[in-house]
Amino acid sequence: SQQGEEDPQALSIQEGENATMNCSYKTSINNLQWYRQNSGRGLVHLILIRSNEREKHSGRLRVTLDTSKKSSSLLITASRAADTASYFCATPRGYGGSQGNLIFGKGTKLSVKP
Amino acid sequence: GEEVAQTPKHLVRGEGQKAKLYCAPIKGHSYVFWYQQVLKNEFKFLISFQNENVFDETGMPKERFSAKCLPNSPCSLEIQATKLEDSAVYFCASSQFKGQGPITSQPQHFGDGTRLSIL
């Protein structure tokens, strides 16, 4: 079963608004990553947050991690039409990520209207 | 190269035929991963390599799927006797080991995928 589950499945906002996406996971992790996928393209790595971090920023992106609730959120501030994409959270499989691959959620499809 | 290069972009095969997909990882990256993305957007892990050695193959349907990463050649994923359910986009990703922590503590760099259509 999927480790990460994003919420909502789809989100439609106006340009300039903020977009918040949430991810819940099931097992203990040492890091969580967020990726973006534009239509017809591969995943692009956005940000990685480690289990000892609570919040991380990168440009207009803000990621939080709550290991007690096994959840993470991705906030995109002042959204632009170019932010239209699907966003996925990913967690390591296996204890300590020992299994070597990431498990992806089903993604949140973000649509930013000009 | 600076990007993961996957070829071909599209591949159409009749049911029962063989399909072979290629991936050139980013130069200097020692890990390669193959994922399958089906219509519901779910990514299914297939196999990973550390250089030319299989690192984790727990996701591979071994009866018909095989993969290789040979020195000085693109990595490949081959599907024998394809089935309709193999229709999907297959992504390759590469990652650089930075000397500490598990490989899953590093970002993965994805190619744009190969869309495989089985008719």
pLDDT of residue B105: 80
Please report the pLDDT score of residue B39 as a whole number.
74
Residue A10 to residue B116: CA distance in whole angstroms? 26
Q: Mutate which of A43, A48, A53, A56 to test chain B, going by most B C-beta atoms within 10 A?
A: A43
**pLDDT of B101:** 65
User: What whole-number distance in Å separates Cα of residue A86 and Cα of residue A104?
Assistant: 12
CB B78 within 8 A of CB B65: yes
Q: How would you classify the pairing of strands B43-50 and B31-37?
A: antiparallel
Contacts of A101 in chain B (CB under 8 A): 33, 45, 48, 56, 59, 104
B104/A92 touch (CB, cutoff 8 Å), yes or no: yes
What pLDDT, on the 0 to 100 scale, is given for residue A1? Answer: 39
Whole-number pLDDT of residue B43: 92
- How far from B61 is each of A93, B38, B58, B66, CA to CA, in Å? 18, 15, 8, 8
Closest Cα of chain B to A41: distance in Å? 5
Stretch 61-90 of chain B: residues touching chain A, C-beta under 8 Å: none
Phi, psi dihedrals of residue B52, rounded to the nearest 5° = -95, 5
Q: Cβ neighbours of residue A38 under 8 Å, at least 6 residues apart?
A: A44, A84, A85
For chain B, residues with pLDDT lower than 70 are 1, 40, 99-101
- Ranges A26-40, A62-76, B77-91: which has the least confidence: A26-40
Q: Across the interface, do A100 and B103 touch by the CB < 8 Å criterion? A: yes
Give residue B98's pLDDT.
72
Cβ-based contacts of A106 with chain B (< 8 Å): 40-42
Binary contact (A100, B104; C-beta < 8 A): yes
- B38 → chain A, closest CA residue: A106
Mean pLDDT on A65-70: 95
